[in-house]
Chain A
Amino acid sequence: MPKRKLDPLPAAAFQILLSLADEDRHGYGIMRQVEEQTGGRVRLGPGTLYGSIQSLAEAQLIEEVGEGVDAKLGQERRRYYRLTVAGRKLARNEAERLAEMVRIARARKILGGEHA
């Protein structure tokens, strides 16, 4: 039985974890937040978004917190998602791993910056 692979953490999944860092969001809210935090470069399509949400929920990195209505968007009931403790920890680890990569890139002089 093929298991969803979150190792290495796909970019989309990482972005979703980051988008939930400050508050609980519904799917469309996550998509918009990811778009905002990437400066418009990443627009998660529905398939990618909910596919990732499914994997993340299965791995208990995020959890569903129930349904609610987002008054700004209309009367539809939407499922909201929240970052779990494990999810926050994983996101922090991933961020530290990337920071380490950046540090190496600087050291190898392929990325600018005052700390060579």
Chain B
Amino acid sequence: MLERMYLRLLRLYPAAFQKAFGEEALQLVRDRLRDERGLAARLRLCFDLMTDLAVSVPREFRYAQPSLAGGQAPRLQTGPAFAVLEGKPPTPTSLALAGLFAVAFFAGVGYLIGHGGGHLVLRSLSMHPERQLSGPGFAPESAPQQPGAGVEAASSSLGSERSVAKPASQAADAKAAGDAWQRDAKTATPAAKGQPALVEMDTAYTRWVVAEIAANLKYHYFDRATAGQLADGIQSRVAKGAYDRVPNDQTLAQLLTRQLRASTGDMHLEVFYDAGVLPHTVAEAGDEQLQQYRRAMAESHCTIQRVERLPNNIGYIKLNSFPDPDVCGAELAKAMSSLNHSSAVIFDLRDNIGGFPASVMLLSNYLFDRPQLIFNPREAANAQSWTKPVAGNTLAEKPVYVLTSDRTISAAEQFTYNLKMLHRATIIGETTAGRVHAGVFHRIDDHFGVAIPEVKTKNPYGQPDWESTGIEPDVQVSSADALRVAARLATQRVESR
């Protein structure tokens, strides 16, 4: 496609240049097309060719040596002789074509910057909760690299080795529809359909992404029968071109997520898009990452921001993640025992970014004096899912308050959800973020990934968990007011006893 485009653009050069070097110039473009694969390389090639044209076409005309042609035409003895300059200036048609192409090109670049900026500008990886990788632990957002996180993901991810290079090579397959960009460029105003040259490549890429997602679902979704139907349904929609017009960014991810959820009722299925680069999952957390995590935990006092006794003997703990008990178990136990003689306890999870379910269990142990099942939507109930009463603990009988915000997420929601469903705590603040992270993350390429639940879990409360909806607090106040309200309610309750 690019080659054809360049063939046309070559006509902008003086005839003499075309004749002498046209074929070689085209060969050079062919060589580069063969050797440089991948979207980024192709964009660079386009850019190179455009800048080259802009610089060299005017120069060729400036230095073109007009040679006389047509001198052999029969001359009239009396009339003037006609001579034609061979290095003639570009025809209006080629100028118009060049102008049109330039507008289309810049519109295309503008579109890419706006929608797929990751191809052009390598953004630094900012960790959004939306693309927290799921693994054995609910990943705390700021923890450098979750030890153990993503073990399943890496071992079972199908498409992780592929990159955006694939679709670029597929563009060659789409060559059959070779002149589509031209038709578009002629019939549509460039402003309205800005990226004609990229349309086919986009379509091939979109189809590839969707097909990869379907393949991952087929092999990894826990419900085999549903998985097959899901994959087949998606594949047939791909074949019909149902996704061809969908912008392959957040729009595609959201559409697929909606469709997957609608056809299964499983809210844990989700397709992710990242304009930057999705992180590669590591097969196993190395010593270095564990050391890094230990250091981060040591520096942040295991993300226990505050532990103190508020007036009226109300215990208060502000916990900003649920850290790995292997690293922070002692710190957490120390914090809890320092609150042992409080009349009530406030867990402030307003800035809690989640973490390890084992840590949720550790804290829950203090709140029940009998084995209590704590629901974890990511794994089937087992012996570890029951609380173990802590010797000497007096908090099991005390009123508990949990402060939430719309940032309270993942493992923090697991803690909140169980206490709410068991009527063990009063939840105060805002509806939580609504992320279960129950699916195992499968990376498709740099930009797309899909979360697929691989085990079936039974919710003991007989209703959907908090995925997408979040947990509604018992007392709805802005997160900024939550502590004040909780302290007041706790005081009233303690004094009425």
Stretch at the interface among A51-59, A90-98, A104-112: A51-59
B56 contacts partner chain A, Cβ-Cβ < 8 Å = yes
- Number of interface residues, chain A, beta carbon within 8 A: 24
Cβ of A47 < 8 Å from any Cβ of B? yes
B434 vs chain A, min Cβ distance (A): 46
Chain B CB count within 10 A is highest, among A5, A47, A55, for A47
Beyond A27-B28, A28-B31, A31-B28, is A47–B65 a contact (Cβ under 8 Å)?
Answer: no
Report chain A residues within 8 Å CB of B21: 46, 50, 53-54
Q: Which residues of B contact A28 (CB under 8 A)?
A: 27-28, 31-32
B277 at interface by CB-CB < 8 Å: no
Interfacial chain B residues near A53, Cβ < 8 Å: 21
- Chain B residues whose C-beta falls within 8 Å of the C-beta of A4 in the assembled complex: 63
Q: Using a CB-CB cutoff of 8 Å, which residues 400-444 of chain B contact chain A?
A: none
B410 to chain A, nearest CB (A): 43
- Are the CB atoms of A50 and B17 closer together than 8 Å? yes
Contact assessment for B17 and A51 in the assembled complex, using a CB-CB cutoff below 8 Å? yes
Q: What residues on A are CB-neighbors of B29 within 8 Å?
A: 46
Contacting pair A46 B60 (CB below 8 A) = no
Cβ proximity bits A28-51 to B, threshold 8 Å, 1 near / 0 not: 100100000000000111111111
Nearest chain B residue, comparing its CB with the CB of A47: B56
B residues 45-59 in Cβ contact with A at 8 Å: 48-49, 51-53, 55-57, 59
CB distance B49 to A46 under 8 Å?
A: yes
- Shortest A35–chain B CB gap in Å is 10
Please indicate the chain A residues that have their CB under 8 angstroms from the CB of B60 in the complex: 47, 51
Report yes or no: A47 in contact with B24, Cβ–Cβ below 8 A: no
- Segment 14-68 of B: residues with Cβ below 8 Å from A: 17, 20-21, 24-29, 31-32, 34, 48-49, 51-53, 55-57, 59-60, 62-66
CB-defined contacts of B34 to chain A, threshold 8 Å = 73
B117 to nearest A CB, angstroms? 23
Is A79 a contact of B24 with CB atoms below 8 Å?
yes
* B53 in contact with A45 (CB, 8 Å): yes
Q: Say yes or no: is A114 at the interface (Cβ < 8 Å to chain B).
A: no
Please measure, in the bound complex, the distance between the C-alpha atom of A76 and the C-alpha atom of B66, giving whole angstroms.
31
A73→B32 CA distance, assembly (Å) = 11
In the complex the two chains form, is B65's CB within 8 Å of A1's CB?
Answer: yes
Interface size of B in residues (CB-CB distance below 8 Å): 29
Whether A46 contacts B63 by the Cβ 8 Å rule is: no
Given contacts A1-B66, A54-B20, contact A48 B28 (CB under 8 A): no
Q: Say if the beta carbon of A115 comes within 8 Å of chain B.
A: no
Contact A48 B56 (CB under 8 A): yes
- CB pair A55–B56 under 8 Å, yes or no, is no
Pairwise interchain contact A45-B27, C-beta atoms closer than 8 A: no
Proximity bits, A1-24, B CB within 8 Å = 1, else 0: 111110000000000000000000
The answer to whether B272 has its CB under 8 Å from any CB of chain A is no
The residue in chain A whose Cβ has the minimal distance to the Cβ of B63 is A4
Whole-angstrom CA separation of A5 from B63 in the bound complex: 8
Residue contact A51 to B59, C-beta cutoff 8 Å: yes
A55 with B63: CB separation less than 8 A = yes
CA distance A4 to B24 in the complex (A): 21
* Interface residue ranges of A65-108 to B (CB < 8 Å): 73, 76, 78-79
Q: Report Cα–Cα, A49/B59, bound state, in Å.
A: 12
Closest CB of chain B to A53's CB: distance in Å?
7
**Quick check: is B13 within 8 A (CB to CB) of the other chain?**
yes
Candidate in A2, A3, A46 with the most chain B CB atoms within 10 angstroms: A46
8 tightest A-B CB contacts, nearest first: A45-B52, A47-B56, A46-B25, A50-B21, A28-B31, A4-B63, A47-B52, A46-B28
Binding site for B on A (CB under 8 A): 1-5, 27-28, 31, 43-51, 53-55, 73, 76, 78-79
Between A and B, 14 residue pairs with Cβ closer than 8 Å are: A1-B65, A1-B66, A3-B63, A27-B27, A46-B6, A46-B24, A47-B53, A47-B56, A50-B24, A51-B56, A54-B17, A54-B20, A73-B34, A76-B27
Beyond contacts A46-B24, A76-B27: 14 other A-B pairs, Cβ-Cβ < 8 A, are: A1-B66, A2-B65, A4-B63, A27-B27, A45-B53, A45-B55, A46-B25, A46-B29, A47-B60, A49-B28, A50-B20, A50-B25, A51-B17, A79-B24
